[in-house]
Amino acid sequence: MRNRFLLPAALVAFVVALGLLSFAGHQTPARAQATTSVPTPSVPTPSVPTPSVPTPSVPTPPVPAALSSVGRPLFVNNCSSCHGLNAQGTDRGPNLVGLGAATVDFWVSTGRMPLAYPGAQAVRKPVLFSRTQQLSIVSYVTSLGAGGPGIPALNQQAADQSNGNDMFGLNCAGCHVITGTGDALANSAFAPSLYQASPTQIAEAIRTGPGNMPRFGPGTLTDKDVNDIVRYVTYLQHPANPGGAGLGHVGPVTEGFLAIVVGLGVLILAAYWIGIRAGATT
């Protein structure tokens, strides 16, 4: 009797192996890169947007100017090797003057800068500086020249998650997918997972367009739209699962995997058991 179940067991194992290979193949580089811990750098080659950033449509919280004196030595020791002593740019890094507080804050607060190693794009990694130190660097760079958007002011209590879903689907899901897990792009680039981004970082990315991401100014997405998108993305980070287990929140990939492994495996065993029983009664 034991030998009779060897064949269906082998078939189920084969199906499971195929499912695992398929599931692994669908793990996007974006999500893998977003959770990779990379040592902090010595001499980087940064990837920061070029400085033609529109002025924000509404006032944003100012960064304390008093922090500029604290930020200068931090910038000199960690950033000037690529961006120059006065952030004017070098052949290894672009000019940062006039990009605005939101741009500098995004790259520093997400750990993408200072850059650990050259690559297709900078990856998120453990943050090198405390929040006060981050704002100090922002204060120093913005003191060198005006321009660009400030750090966004958000009011999540007044946000409309439904509108955020619509706006995200129209403007962001093409790269980050509708669940915010990210996806691969051309030329080894990727749209990163949004699961680790803070509300401020999400809004900063929308307004400044880091890396391959387009920049969405107030003429494309209003401040209300940005606030609503942030609310939707923060929901994605901790969504409700009224239908049961979340299954990693990567959509039909995991659902199909479970259907193949569990559903098809059970059907194979059931069909084989029915065949054995039918043969025993004849």
Query: What is the band of 246 on the pLDDT scale with cuts at 50, 70, 90?
Result: low
Q: What is the mean pLDDT of residues 147-159?
A: 94
Handedness of CA 15, 20, 25, 31 (dihedral sign): positive
Q: Which CATH superfamily is domain 154-241 in?
A: Cytochrome c-like domain (1.10.760.10)
Q: Which residue has the higher pLDDT, 279 or 164?
A: 164
Residue 135's pLDDT is: 95
| Whole-model pTM over 0.75 | no
Residue 261's pLDDT is: 75
Query: What is the band of 127 on the pLDDT scale with cuts at 50, 70, 90?
Result: very high
On the question of pLDDT at 193 being above 60, the answer is yes
On the question of pLDDT at 165 being above 60, the answer is yes
On the question of pLDDT at 9 being above 60, the answer is yes
Q: Which residue has the higher pLDDT, 237 or 241?
A: 237
What percent of the chain stands above pLDDT 70? 71
Task: List pLDDT tens digits, range 44-53.
Answer: 444 444 444 4
Per the DSSP assignment, residues forming a β-bridge with 183 are 191
| DSSP 8-state class, residue 97 | T
Q: Which range among 26-30, 222-226, 248-252 shows the weakest confidence by mean pLDDT?
A: 26-30
Q: Which residue has the higher pLDDT, 198 or 281?
A: 198
On the question of pLDDT at 281 being above 80, the answer is no
Q: What are phi and psi of 26, to 5 degrees?
A: -90, 0
Average pLDDT, the chain: 80
Task: List pLDDT tens digits, range 194-208.
Answer: 999 999 999 999 999
CA 174 to chain centre: 14
CA 15 to chain centre: 32
CATH of 37-151, one of 3.40.50.720, 1.10.760.10, 3.40.47.10, 3.40.50.10470: 1.10.760.10
Residue 187's pLDDT is: 85
Residue 56's pLDDT is: 42
Nearest Cα neighbor of 112 from 244, 205, 240 is 205
Task: List pLDDT tens digits, range 172-191.
Answer: 999 999 989 899 998 889 99
CATH 1.10.760.10 domain residues, the chain: 37-151, 154-241
Q: Which range among 21-30, 99-108, 129-138 shows the weakest confidence by mean pLDDT?
A: 21-30
Q: Which range among 9-18, 24-33, 86-95 shows the weakest confidence by mean pLDDT?
A: 24-33
Query: What is the band of 79 on the pLDDT scale with cuts at 50, 70, 90?
Result: very high
Given the DSSP bridges, would you call strands 190-191 and 183-184 parallel, antiparallel or unpaired?
Answer: antiparallel
Residue 29's pLDDT is: 42
CA 27 to chain centre: 14
Q: In the numeric block, which tokens belong to residue 57?
A: 């449509």
Residue 32's pLDDT is: 40
Whether the bond between 218 and the residue before it is cis, its omega within 30 degrees of 0, is no
Query: What is the band of 58 on the pLDDT scale with cuts at 50, 70, 90?
Result: very low
